[in-house]
């Protein structure tokens, strides 16, 4: 909760240090001093800073994230259409990434320092070190331009049709793949080291001494323990995944929060920029909170300490 | 891109080994350093990464003196020329030699990466060490600031800042550093919490050493392992961040160029088939970032005594 408070304080400070002040940023550089004074009075900008902050907080609590003068729409209205699309993109790609990365991590830990391990390690290193926009564009070149299999743009229009209309699903494939690939690189590295940490634990030796088969040890004991840190990792990597979504949406023209934010950055639409930042930051905080709770659910040791 | 924040307890690398060497002040020639560099040099991948970085620096900064190209004027007679003996990697859309541009652009990329990492690490380390050493309400306030900023995804924060402040080269370095100092601050604070209770801190205090002296001469030097590992990753991240900013249209303004600019300019001609505008810059970014990541990984192994095979 304190962190949410801190985030809002920070975005509040950002709105106040806008070049030329908030009024000039919104009314344009040709606004006359009387116009600016009127605007300031109308929006309470002539009050003291603590008073302004209280007003700002009050607006946020009532889901008033500001008004985009450029698009002539409230930020919450803009977000309302786009948030479900981003959640869809994030959800599918993160699930996919988990489903691929966990088996890869297991394979790597079992075949440590063998050919498979080196192969996946190098692949994930390259994916991780690649500018994310380039990865997306390479996918477009390969699958949309050269092979002509999939559309190079993400699905447009109403989010309800994304999973029912075949052409929309085809449009989802490349954005999801681009986002999932970078996440897979990260997750499989963690899965590998988490498995390796657990393989040397005493309980593995005990299980082996009791006569449990190798497969049994791997799946019944090691895997269950190795998955615990992944829960935390999910929470921790949320900011990174949001960032990835921003780039993916920009590359594939996928009309979600990231694209909205990017457009806002290019047109210097400060209400949109700061509104989306607050929303994303609060989402991150809650994501971390969920991860902590999830961690307590899967790991009884945490519950006892807490 | 930012999940390298390892649990604080996990990263107490050199501290114990280093502390054992002397009374708390790190001697550069100490055996811990020798041991760490030995482990580092044993890792062939890391040595390859280091060699590659050195090579890249030579390529970018010494290369232009050997491979002389005109990077100032356009050459309309030779637009997007296919690679040939005259232009080893072809020319770009205004007729500049791509190989030469790669060198000059690399200078900017490396300069931004290294300076931003240096700035972010210095600031983050000081912040974390002060917070951890002071403790109490100051620590609480300082770390809540870090937590709040960490909650905003890096790229979003970066774009807000880049949109608000007109990007110039120094401004971009500051912006990247502004979003990058948080992780080292947190790591160093965690280490400081355990270091400040060590006997040698008491010893310094008994000898009349000031708090400033304890932090600067004893605590920070003992976290050098964490600092260096993190700084290396910072360089890799900064190079990637700048490339991404270039693509998103908020990068270094022309005429200055960097690998990210070259790559994002090149990909707008994807359909025209000018592969030499895309792949040299892209590969330069990927390989350099991989190299820094390899070095960082190996340094982590080298300093993390716990993981070493004994």
* Residue B270 banded pLDDT, cuts 50, 70, 90: low
Name the E strands within chain A. Answer: 67-68, 73-74
Among A191, A232, A186, CA closest to A106: A191
Residue A66 falls inside a structural domain: no
- Residues A243, B156: C-beta atoms closer than 8 Å: yes
Whether residue B4 has pLDDT greater than 50 = no
Among A91, A190, A181, CA closest to A130: A181
Q: Could you tell me if A100 and A197 lie in one domain?
A: yes
- Given CB atoms, is A125 within the 8 Å cutoff of chain B? yes
Q: Is the dihedral of CA B175, B176, B179, B180 positive or negative?
A: negative
- Residues A137, B270: C-beta atoms closer than 8 Å: yes
What burial letters (b/e) apply to B23-50, b meaning 16+ CB within 10 Å? ebebeeebebbebbeebbeebebbeebb
* Residue B7 banded pLDDT, cuts 50, 70, 90: very low
Q: Could you tell me if A6 and A135 lie in one domain?
A: no
- Chain A residue with minimal CA distance to B235? A129
Q: Could you tell me if A93 and A55 lie in one domain?
A: no
Residue A72 falls inside a structural domain: no
Alpha carbon distance B213, B216 (integer Å): 5
- Residues A243, B151: C-beta atoms closer than 8 Å: no
Contacts of A19 by beta carbon, 8 Å cutoff, 6+ apart: A25, B164, B165
Q: Could you tell me if A155 and A277 lie in one domain?
A: yes
Residue A174 falls inside a structural domain: yes
What value does the mean pLDDT take over residues B166-193? 84
**Do residues B1 and B240 lie in contact, with contact meaning Cβ atoms separated by under 8 Å?**
yes
- Cβ-based neighbour number of residue B205 at 10 Å: 13
Q: What is the pLDDT of residues B32-88, one digit of tens each?
A: 667 777 767 777 777 888 888 888 888 878 777 777 766 666 666 666 666 666 666
User: How confident is the model at residue B46, as a pLDDT?
Assistant: 78
Residue ranges in chain A modelled with pLDDT below 50: 306
Q: Could you tell me if A125 and A239 lie in one domain?
A: yes
Q: What is the CATH number of the domain that holds A193?
A: 1.10.3720.10
Q: Could you tell me if A270 and A141 lie in one domain?
A: yes
Q: Could you tell me if A122 and A222 lie in one domain?
A: yes
Angle at A208 between CA A207 and CA A212, to 5 degrees: 75
Residue A93 falls inside a structural domain: yes
User: How confident is the model at residue B6, as a pLDDT?
Assistant: 40
Q: Which residues of A touch B145 (CB under 8 A)?
A: 6
Q: Which residues of B touch A124 (CB under 8 A)?
A: none
Q: Could you tell me if A140 and A237 lie in one domain?
A: yes
- Chain B residue with minimal CA distance to A243? B155
Q: Which residues of B touch A3 (CB under 8 A)?
A: 144, 147-148, 151
- Chain B residue with minimal CA distance to A133? B244
What value does the mean pLDDT take over residues B161-182? 82
Which one of A2, A129, A134 has the shortest CB-CB distance to B236? A129
The mean of the pLDDT values for chain B is: 75
Q: Which residues of A touch B187 (CB under 8 A)?
A: none
User: How confident is the model at residue B260, as a pLDDT?
Assistant: 79
Q: Which residues of A touch B243 (CB under 8 A)?
A: 131, 134
**Do residues A60 and A8 lie in contact, with contact meaning Cβ atoms separated by under 8 Å?**
yes
**Do residues B181 and B126 lie in contact, with contact meaning Cβ atoms separated by under 8 Å?**
no
Which one of A125, A130, A242 has the shortest CB-CB distance to B153? A242
Which one of A7, A132, A236 has the shortest CB-CB distance to B3? A236
Question: Could you give the number of structural domains in chain A?
Answer: 2
Which residues constitute the domain of residue A46?
Answer: 2-61
Which one of B2, B156, B249 has the shortest CB-CB distance to A246? B156
Whether residue B120 has pLDDT greater than 70 = yes
Helix (H, G, I), strand (E, B) or coil at A74: strand
User: How confident is the model at residue A162, as a pLDDT?
Assistant: 66
Among A148, A234, A133, CA closest to B249: A133
Residue A129 falls inside a structural domain: yes
- Given CB atoms, is B146 within the 8 Å cutoff of chain A? no
- Chain B residue with minimal CA distance to A182? B1
Q: How many residues does chain B have?
A: 310
- List all residues of chain B from 255 to 284 with a beta carbon under 8 Å from chain A: 260, 263-264, 267, 270-271, 282
What value does the mean pLDDT take over residues B145-174? 81
**Which of A265, A280, A288, A289 to probe by mutation at the B interface, max B CB count within 10 Å?**
A265
Q: Which residues of A touch B248 (CB under 8 A)?
A: 133, 247, 250, 262, 265
Whether residue B29 has pLDDT greater than 70 = no
In angstroms, what CA-CA distances link A168 with A152, A176, B60, B156?
12, 12, 45, 27
Alpha carbon distance A293, B214 (integer Å): 39
Domain end point (choices A29, A61, A93): A61
Residue A54 falls inside a structural domain: yes
Helix (H, G, I), strand (E, B) or coil at A235: helix
User: How confident is the model at residue B213, as a pLDDT?
Assistant: 82
Q: Could you tell me if A101 and A215 lie in one domain?
A: yes
Which one of B151, B240, B267 has the shortest CB-CB distance to A284? B151
Q: Could you tell me if A145 and A278 lie in one domain?
A: yes
* Residue B119 banded pLDDT, cuts 50, 70, 90: very high
Angle at A243 between CA B115 and CA A77, to 5 degrees: 130
Q: Which residues of B touch A274 (CB under 8 A)?
A: 160
Residue A43 falls inside a structural domain: yes
User: How confident is the model at residue B87, as a pLDDT?
Assistant: 65
Q: Could you tell me if A155 and A233 lie in one domain?
A: yes
Q: Could you tell me if A132 and A274 lie in one domain?
A: yes
Residue A190 falls inside a structural domain: yes
Q: Does ipTM top 0.85?
A: no
Of residues B176 and B93, more confidence is placed in B176
Indicate whether this model's pTM tops 0.80: no
- Residues A10, B285: C-beta atoms closer than 8 Å: no
**Do residues B251 and B262 lie in contact, with contact meaning Cβ atoms separated by under 8 Å?**
no
């Amino acid at each position: 909760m304190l962190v949410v408070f801190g985030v809002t304080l920070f975005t509040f400070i950002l709105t106040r240090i806008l070049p030329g002040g908030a009024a000039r940023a919104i009314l344009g550089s040709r606004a006359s001093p009387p116009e600016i004074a009127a605007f300031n009075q109308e929006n309470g900008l002539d009050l003291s800073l603590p008073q302004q902050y209280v007003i700002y907080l009050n607006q946020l609590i009532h889901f008033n994230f500001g008004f985009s003068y450029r698009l002539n729409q409230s930020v919450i209205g803009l977000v309302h259409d786009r948030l479900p699309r981003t959640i869809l993109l994030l959800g599918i790609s993160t699930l996919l990434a988990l489903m691929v990365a966990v088996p890869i991590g297991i394979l790597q830990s079992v075949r440590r320092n063998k050919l498979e391990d080196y192969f996946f390690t190098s692949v994930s290193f390259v994916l991780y070190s690649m500018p994310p926009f380039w990865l997306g564009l390479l996918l477009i070149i390969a699958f949309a331009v050269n092979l002509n299999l999939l559309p190079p743009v993400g699905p447009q229009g109403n989010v309800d049709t994304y999973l029912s209309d075949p052409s929309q699903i085809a449009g989802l494939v490349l954005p999801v793949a681009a986002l999932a690939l970078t996440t897979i690189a990260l997750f499989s590295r963690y899965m590998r080291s988490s498995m390796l940490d657990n393989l040397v634990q005493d309980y593995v030796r005990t299980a082996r001494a009791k006569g449990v088969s190798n497969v049994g040890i791997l799946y019944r004991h090691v895997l269950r323990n190795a998955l615990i840190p992944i829960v935390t990792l999910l929470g921790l990597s949320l900011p990174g995944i949001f960032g990835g979504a921003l780039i993916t949406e920009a590359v594939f023209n996928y009309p979600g929060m990231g694209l909205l934010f990017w457009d806002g950055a290019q047109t210097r639409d400060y209400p949109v920029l700061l509104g989306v930042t607050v929303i994303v930051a609060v989402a991150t905080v809650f994501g971390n909170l969920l991860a902590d709770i999830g961690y307590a659910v899967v790991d009884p040791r945490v519950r006892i300490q807490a | 891109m930012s999940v390298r924040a390892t649990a604080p307890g996990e990263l107490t690398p050199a501290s114990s080994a280093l502390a054992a060497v002397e009374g708390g002040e790190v001697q550069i020639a100490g055996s811990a350093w020798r041991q760490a560099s030995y482990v580092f040099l044993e890792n062939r991948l890391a040595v390859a990464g280091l060699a590659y970085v050195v090579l890249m620096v030579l390529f970018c900064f010494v290369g232009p003196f050997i491979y002389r190209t005109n990077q100032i004027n356009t050459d309309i007679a030779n637009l997007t020329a296919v690679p040939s003996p005259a232009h080893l990697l072809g020319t770009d859309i205004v007729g500049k030699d791509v190989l030469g541009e790669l060198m000059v652009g690399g200078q900017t990329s490396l300069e931004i990466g290294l300076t931003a990492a240096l700035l972010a690490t210095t600031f983050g380390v000081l912040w974390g060490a002060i917070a951890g050493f002071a403790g109490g309400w100051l620590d609480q306030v300082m770390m809540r600031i870090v937590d709040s900023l960490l909650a905003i995804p890096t790229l979003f924060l970066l774009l807000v800042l880049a949109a608000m402040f007109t990007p110039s080269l120094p401004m971009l370095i500051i912006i990247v550093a502004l979003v990058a100092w948080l992780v080292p601050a947190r790591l160093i604070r965690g280490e400081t919490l355990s270091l400040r209770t060590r006997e040698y801190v008491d010893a310094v205090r008994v000898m009349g050493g000031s708090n400033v002296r304890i932090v600067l001469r004893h605590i920070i030097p003992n976290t050098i392992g964490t600092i260096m590992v993190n700084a290396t990753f910072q360089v890799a991240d900064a190079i990637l961040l700048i490339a991404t900013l270039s693509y998103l249209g908020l990068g270094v303004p022309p005429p200055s160029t960097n690998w990210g600019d070259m790559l994002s300019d090149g990909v707008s001609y994807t359909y025209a088939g000018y592969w030499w505008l895309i792949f040299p810059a892209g590969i330069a970014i990927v390989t350099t970032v991989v190299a820094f990541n390899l070095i960082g990984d190996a340094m982590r192994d080298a300093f993390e005594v716990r993981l070493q095979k004994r």
